[in-house]
Chain A
Amino acid sequence: MNMANVISPSTVDALIKFGIDVAIILLKIVIVLAIGLLHVAYATYFERKVIGHMQVRLGPMRVGPHGLLQPFADGIKLFFKEDIIPAQADKVVFYIAPIIFMAAAMVNLSVIPFDANFVIADINVGLLFIFAMAGIGVYGIFISGWASNSKYAFMGGLRSSAQVISYEIAMGLSLVGVMMMAGSLNLSDIIRAQGESIFGMYAIPQFIGFIVFVIAAVAETNRTPFDLPEAESELVAGYFTEYSSFRFALFFLGEYIAMILMASLCTICFLGGWTLPWYVLKIFPFLSYVPGVVWFVLKVYAFFFFYYWIRATVPRYRYDQFMAIGWKILIPVAIGNILLTGLVKIILKEVL
């Protein structure tokens, strides 16, 4: 009984090749998920440390040296806590909401190119995919607020969906300039086009878009100063007020993964991803031996630090001020930026 009698050798080869491809993708998924979740754990730790030191405190110090094991202690605590579900809650929707929220955030990690050849799904509409998934994440927020059957959660859900939807417009428009300059929606192509451009990173020619994107990214992930959906003094904890134990942890995880995602998106679209600008490499030629993923991760960390820094500095906006910033300032400015980018592009084409 030979295999060759059942299926032809060429089919076997193709099957083996397919199997290897699947195995590679699975391996990549495991690596990205493991590293991503570890980053989430330590993002919470460094957030508490950085904000603590900015407020002249120490932050966590008791678990392990300098509190380094604190994230694990928190995780274990959350895992073993009692899972409370409100009696009047819509049970099925209540169960689904955190899963939608976290899944929508996590799926995005698949299109992020961490290095020149390390991306799980190298699709040609990467940027659109991220926007679509961010849009689905809103469902998680909104139905969690609805299913909890609580005023605070409901108000938080409403606010959050309004906020994410309106700031998504500003964010999308701010990235249109980048798309126009790169001529692609594929994230790897955007980075490559950036590395070959004169400035090396789009943050310099697209500085208007960059500022709009940074503000919108903070709003999109519900972080201070735009954390109105979770405004403690008004809404207890916003849409996840009624969640406890591991369901709460899922929301928490989703939020931090969304932060990682926004930081990565900023790195990819404005800071040059895994590349360094050519003028830096000209001054320090030895830097070209450092693997690209190091630069990518360093840029992501820098953006994370910015998140913490702004949280420690700026107080929360009022809701109407916040909406006014989004609709009356950021969106017109982003549209103006598109116009400007287009004009410059046409002029350069005519001149050269």
Chain B
Amino acid sequence: MTFKHFIKTITFIEILKGMALTLRRMFSKAVTIQYPDERRKIAPGFRGQHALSKRGGKAKCVGCGLCATICPSQCISITREKGQVTKYQIELLRCIYCGFCVEACPYGAISLTENYEYSAYNKQDLMMTKEKLLSNWDKYMPGTKGEEYYKKFWRPMSEDFGTPPGQAMYGGKR
């Protein structure tokens, strides 16, 4: 034990330094958000509860099953009968909110809304049926919000990285 170390030990200098820090922190502003009264600002492109988008009052979904195929937790199940989507179900308890379904959909038919407060007391309420998903679109994506949402966050990659319009082509086809 060197002399310096000895002095450090008997004067509690390190503990006192730590105590000075905690005392300073005591007078700084707390970071707590008082949840039901205050809410965190939702970031753009937030991935919350799902919704099936509509065009002209009807669902865009054609039941191709790409979303169900790509879903890593396999929480989407789709049934088609006679060219009609008869069942479209999402199990919210299994969903991991990765957004792959939105990315896979060729029609922009499924979206993730900004709603994250949907806790329930039973499992059945967390099984999203087609009707519930369609009503979610009206509820959380009113007006042009839904269209803008797709344009901003989920537009096809070809729009950014595709062939520029002015490029010369063979045979006049692009």
Residues on B with C-beta less than 8 A from A56 are 25, 28-31
Given contacts A54-B26, A56-B28, A56-B29, 7 further A-B contacts (CB under 8 A): A54-B23, A54-B25, A309-B19, A313-B15, A313-B21, A314-B15, A314-B18
Closest Cβ of chain A to B6, distance in Å, is 12
Q: How far is the CA of A220 from the CA of B133 in the complex (A)?
A: 61
Q: How far is the CA of A50 from the CA of B27 in the complex (A)?
A: 10
Q: Is B19 a contact of A57 with CB atoms below 8 Å?
A: no
Decide yes or no whether A52 CB sits under 8 A from chain B: yes
Decide yes or no whether A328 CB sits under 8 A from chain B: no
Interface residue from A50, A57, A309 paired with B32 (Cβ < 8 Å) = A57
Decide yes or no whether B2 CB sits under 8 A from chain A: no
Decide yes or no whether A103 CB sits under 8 A from chain B: no
Interface residue from A53, A55, A313 paired with B19 (Cβ < 8 Å) = A313
Residues on A with C-beta less than 8 A from B28 are 56
Decide yes or no whether B34 CB sits under 8 A from chain A: yes
Residues on A with C-beta less than 8 A from B25 are 53-56
Q: How far is the CA of A1 from the CA of B126 in the complex (A)?
A: 87
Closest Cβ of chain B to A345, distance in Å, is 24
Give chain A's interface secondary structure class. Answer: helix
Residues on A with C-beta less than 8 A from B122 are none
Q: How far is the CA of A313 from the CA of B26 in the complex (A)?
A: 11
Residues on B with C-beta less than 8 A from A58 are 30, 32, 34
Q: How far is the CA of A52 from the CA of B25 in the complex (A)?
A: 10
- What 0/1 readout, one digit per residue, does chain A (44-80) give for beta carbons within 8 Å of chain B? 0000001011111110010000000000000000000
Q: Is A310 a contact of B34 with CB atoms below 8 Å?
A: no
Chain B residues with a Cβ closer than 8 Å to the other chain, count: 15
Q: List 12 A-B contacts (CB under 8 A).
A: A50-B26, A53-B25, A53-B26, A53-B27, A54-B22, A54-B23, A54-B25, A56-B29, A57-B30, A58-B30, A58-B32, A309-B22
- What 0/1 readout, one digit per residue, does chain B (52-90) give for beta carbons within 8 Å of chain A? 000000000000000000000000000000000000000
Chain A residues with a Cβ closer than 8 Å to the other chain, count: 14
B30's nearest neighbour on chain A, judged by CB, is: A58
Q: How far is the CA of A304 from the CA of B163 in the complex (A)?
A: 72
Q: Is B19 a contact of A310 with CB atoms below 8 Å?
A: yes
Q: Is B23 a contact of A309 with CB atoms below 8 Å?
A: yes
Q: How far is the CA of A44 from the CA of B4 in the complex (A)?
A: 40
A53's nearest neighbour on chain B, judged by CB, is: B26
7 closest A-B pairs (Cβ-Cβ)?
A: A58-B32, A54-B22, A313-B22, A58-B30, A313-B18, A53-B26, A54-B26
Q: How far is the CA of A319 from the CA of B25 in the complex (A)?
A: 29
Q: Decide yes or no: A61 and B34 within 8 Å by CB, A309-B19, A314-B15, A314-B18 being known contacts.
A: yes
Residues on A with C-beta less than 8 A from B23 are 54, 309
Decide yes or no whether A120 CB sits under 8 A from chain B: no
Q: How far is the CA of A52 from the CA of B30 in the complex (A)?
A: 9
Q: Which of B18, B22, B27, B30 has most chain A Cβ within 10 Å? A: B22
Residues on B with C-beta less than 8 A from A52 are 30
Q: How far is the CA of A310 from the CA of B15 in the complex (A)?
A: 9
Q: How far is the CA of A309 from the CA of B25 in the complex (A)?
A: 11
Decide yes or no whether A312 CB sits under 8 A from chain B: yes
Q: Is B30 a contact of A312 with CB atoms below 8 Å?
A: no
Closest Cβ of chain B to A203, distance in Å, is 16
Residues on A with C-beta less than 8 A from B31 are 56-57
Q: How far is the CA of A56 from the CA of B31 in the complex (A)?
A: 6
Q: How far is the CA of A167 from the CA of B25 in the complex (A)?
A: 32
Q: Which of A50, A310, A312 has most chain B Cβ within 10 Å? A: A312
B24's nearest neighbour on chain A, judged by CB, is: A54
Residues on B with C-beta less than 8 A from A314 are 15, 18
A314's nearest neighbour on chain B, judged by CB, is: B15
B32's nearest neighbour on chain A, judged by CB, is: A58
Which residues between 312 and 348 of chain A lie within 8 Å of chain B, taking CB atoms? 312-314
Q: How far is the CA of A306 from the CA of B25 in the complex (A)?
A: 15
Residues on A with C-beta less than 8 A from B22 are 54, 309, 312-313
Residues on B with C-beta less than 8 A from A310 are 19
B15's nearest neighbour on chain A, judged by CB, is: A314
Q: How far is the CA of A156 from the CA of B31 in the complex (A)?
A: 35
Q: How far is the CA of A286 from the CA of B25 in the complex (A)?
A: 35
